[in-house]
């Protein structure tokens, strides 16, 4: 089950719109959590196994005058997700935004990819987003408003050798986005995806220099993206300015796939 970490400011404040960011402890999720806090949301952020990183994000948000709390939650564990919503969100927070950001890779060529590596990546990246969306939709439907934002990937749009599991999950996430958008529109809930290109985080830090250079060469803007580039797109979709946008995929990829 989830474990609450300390927070430096009152939490939750039921009247303040809340944003839940899965995998909000590091990388893109951290930038999203900080940016949504900047924009006035109290942030529930989850992490898998690195409490120190999560606490760092909470402390950064608190230092900037925002409210956040971190929870250990494996989004690949559906029962734990349901418990988390029941115990920490339902009736306690005004859930306005869900960002399905948690993701993992387990790369390998098709002929050598093990069933468990395929299943694990699908369980976290796709089923995790599905289960969080289902739980959030129950709450948002009652409020007749809400924003669900799924962090897909450019490779879910264009394919990528050596990532059959990850690409299948990210392409699935785009389908999930479009279906949920149609289903939840009647309740004034918008559902969109953001598809980042290659972004500077721990996930891409292990790339060999040669591979990194060839990726950068293929990007028209000639640089890797930054987590903040993605966070600002999410903040836009979470804002009132995006009220009439649903079922879309917003690419943040430096032009590498149009
Ligand atoms: P990252 O630096 O590896 O961070 C991943 C985050 O997800 C961490 O907060 C991690 O928690 C959390 N997480 C991992 N497994 C989890 C699980 N089972 N349950 C809950 N949380 C879990 O990754 P990133 O690069 O920021 O990527 C964030 C999202 O953007 C992912 O969905 C990724 O697929 C997508 N994306 C990334 C890129 C890129 O170039 N980086 C490009 C396109 C799309 P811990 O800190 O506890 O491990």
The model's pLDDT over 189-209, given as tens digits with 9 standing for 90+, comes to: 999 999 999 999 999 998 899
% of the chain with per-residue pLDDT over 90: 92
Q: Which stretches of the chain are assigned E, i.e. beta strand?
A: 17-21, 42-47, 68-72, 94-100, 146-151, 189-196, 249-252
Indicate the average pLDDT of the chain.
95
Residues in the chain with pLDDT values less than 50: 1-7
What does pTM read for this prediction? 0.97
Domain residues of the chain, as ranges?
Answer: 3-252
At residue 9, the pLDDT reads 55
The backbone torsions φ and ψ at residue 68, rounded to the nearest 5 degrees and listed phi first, read -155, 155
**Which residues make Cβ contacts (< 8 Å) with residue 77, sequence separation at least 6?**
none
**CA–CA gap between residue 129 and residue 137 (Å, rounded):** 12
Q: Which CATH class is domain 3-252?
A: alpha beta
At residue 1, the pLDDT reads 41
Alpha-carbon separation of residue 11 from 6, 44, 142 (angstroms): 10, 10, 22
Q: Of all protein residues, whose CA lies closest to atom 27 belonging to ligand 1? A: 28
> Is 166 among the residues known to form the active site?
yes
At residue 4, the pLDDT reads 42
**Candidate of 5, 27, 173 to mutate for ligand 1, largest count of ligand atoms within 8 Å of Cβ:** 27
Nearest to 249 by CA among 182, 196, 180: 196
Which ligand 1 atom minimizes the distance to the CA of 105?
A: 34
At residue 13, the pLDDT reads 85
Q: Kindly provide the b/e burial profile for residues 202-228, where b requires at least 16 CB atoms within 10 angstroms of the residue's own CB.
A: eebeeeeeeebeebeeebeeeebbebe
Nearest to 125 by CA among 23, 44, 38: 23
Look-up of token digits 């900037």: 64
**Candidate of 49, 103, 155 to mutate for ligand 1, largest count of ligand atoms within 8 Å of Cβ:** 103
Q: How far is the CA of 241 from the centre of ligand 1 (A)?
A: 27
- CA 38: distance to chain centroid? 17
**Which residues make Cβ contacts (< 8 Å) with residue 201, sequence separation at least 6?**
26, 27, 28, 227
Q: How far is the CA of 106 from the centre of ligand 1 (A)?
A: 12
At residue 11, the pLDDT reads 81
């Amino acid at each position: 089950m989830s474990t609450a970490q300390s927070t430096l400011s009152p939490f939750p404040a039921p009247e303040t719109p809340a944003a839940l960011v899965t995998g909000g402890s590091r990388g893109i999720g951290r930038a999203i959590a900080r940016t949504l806090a900047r924009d006035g949301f109290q942030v529930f952020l989850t992490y898998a196994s690195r409490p120190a990183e999560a606490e760092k994000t909470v402390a950064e948000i608190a230092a900037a005058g925002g409210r956040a709390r971190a929870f250990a939650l494996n989004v690949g564990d559906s029962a734990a997700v349901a418990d988390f919503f029941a115990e920490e969100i339902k009736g306690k927070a005004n859930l306005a935004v869900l960002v399905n950001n948690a993701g993992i890779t387990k790369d390998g060529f098709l002929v050598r990819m093990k069933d468990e590596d395929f299943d694990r990546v699908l369980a976290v990246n796709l089923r995790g987003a599905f289960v969080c969306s289902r739980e959030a939709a129950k709450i948002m439907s009652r409020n007749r408003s809400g924003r669900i934002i799924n962090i897909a990937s450019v490779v879910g749009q264009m394919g990528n050798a050596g990532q059959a599991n990850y690409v299948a999950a990210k392409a699935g996430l785009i389908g999930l986005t479009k279906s949920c958008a149609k289903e939840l529109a009647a309740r004034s809930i918008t559902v969109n995806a953001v598809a980042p290109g290659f972004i500077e985080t721990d996930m891409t830090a292990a790339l060999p220099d040669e591979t990194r250079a060839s990726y950068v060469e293929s990007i028209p803007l000639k640089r890797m993206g930054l987590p903040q580039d993605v966070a600002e797109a999410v903040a836009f979709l979470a804002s009132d300015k995006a009220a009439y946008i649903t079922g879309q995929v917003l690419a943040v990829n430096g032009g590498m796939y149009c």
